[in-house]
Amino acid sequence: MSTGGSRNVLVAGIGNVFLGDDGFGVEVVRRLDPAELPATADVADYGIRGVHLAYELLDGRYDTLILVDAVPLDGPPGTLAVIEADDRPAGGDVAIDGHGLHPDAVLRLLNHLGGGVERVVIVGCRPAVLDEVMELSEPVAAAVEGAVRLVAELAWQEAAGKIERETTDA
């Protein structure tokens, strides 16, 4: 964990690029410019490698995890939201599938392995298409740039310790 005033942040894009809008998180982190983020923020495309993400978080280096993913939300496809998550989801066995862990399963695995992260925030987008196609639908593609700005803003707030604790729609 960080010391002093700055906090370490991991921005993780997750999703399957072969399933249409499920690739939203991967596309957002691909477009993020690390030079425009705080020095204490790392950005990575984890795609469908949930186990890898859990192991990345095990050493306690990160104070905040910002997950970027397609999530079921109210509103039309392309709707963005910032969702506060719990890093210790209740119940459930840890079924390890290295190519298909959903965010809650990643956090359960992390907890099962003895790790944790202080704060988990999800930047989500409501998908339109989750079929076997390698492109985002029009409404989700249109939401990517807004999500890039939103993730960068959150990374700066988290790194500076200016944390808002409410769930907000973007």
Q: What is the C-alpha to C-alpha distance for residues 68 and 83, in angstroms, rounded to an integer?
A: 10
Q: What is the C-alpha to C-alpha distance for residues 8 and 161, in angstroms, rounded to an integer?
A: 10
The rounded radius of gyration (Å) of the Cα atoms in the chain is: 15
pLDDT for residue 164: 57
pLDDT band at 5 (very low <50, low <70, confident <90, very high): low
User: Does the pLDDT of residue 144 top 60, yes or no?
Assistant: yes
Q: What is the C-alpha to C-alpha distance for residues 38 and 152, in angstroms, rounded to an integer?
A: 9
Whole-number average pLDDT of the chain: 85
pLDDT in tens, 45-88: 998 887 889 889 998 999 999 999 999 999 999 999 999 876 43
Q: Which of 109, 102, 98 is nearest to 54 (CA)?
A: 109
Query: Is the model more confident about 59 or about 166?
Result: 59
55-75 CB burial, b ≥16 within 10 A, e <16? ebbeeeebbbbbbbbbbebee
Reported pTM: 0.84
Q: Which of 85-94, 106-115, 120-129, 156-165 reaches the highest mean pLDDT?
A: 120-129
pLDDT band at 107 (very low <50, low <70, confident <90, very high): confident
pLDDT band at 41 (very low <50, low <70, confident <90, very high): very high
Where do the domains of the chain lie, and which CATH numbers do they carry? 9-163 (3.40.50.1450)
Instruction: Assess contact for 10 and 55: CB atoms under 8 A.
Output: no
Amino acid letter, 77:
P
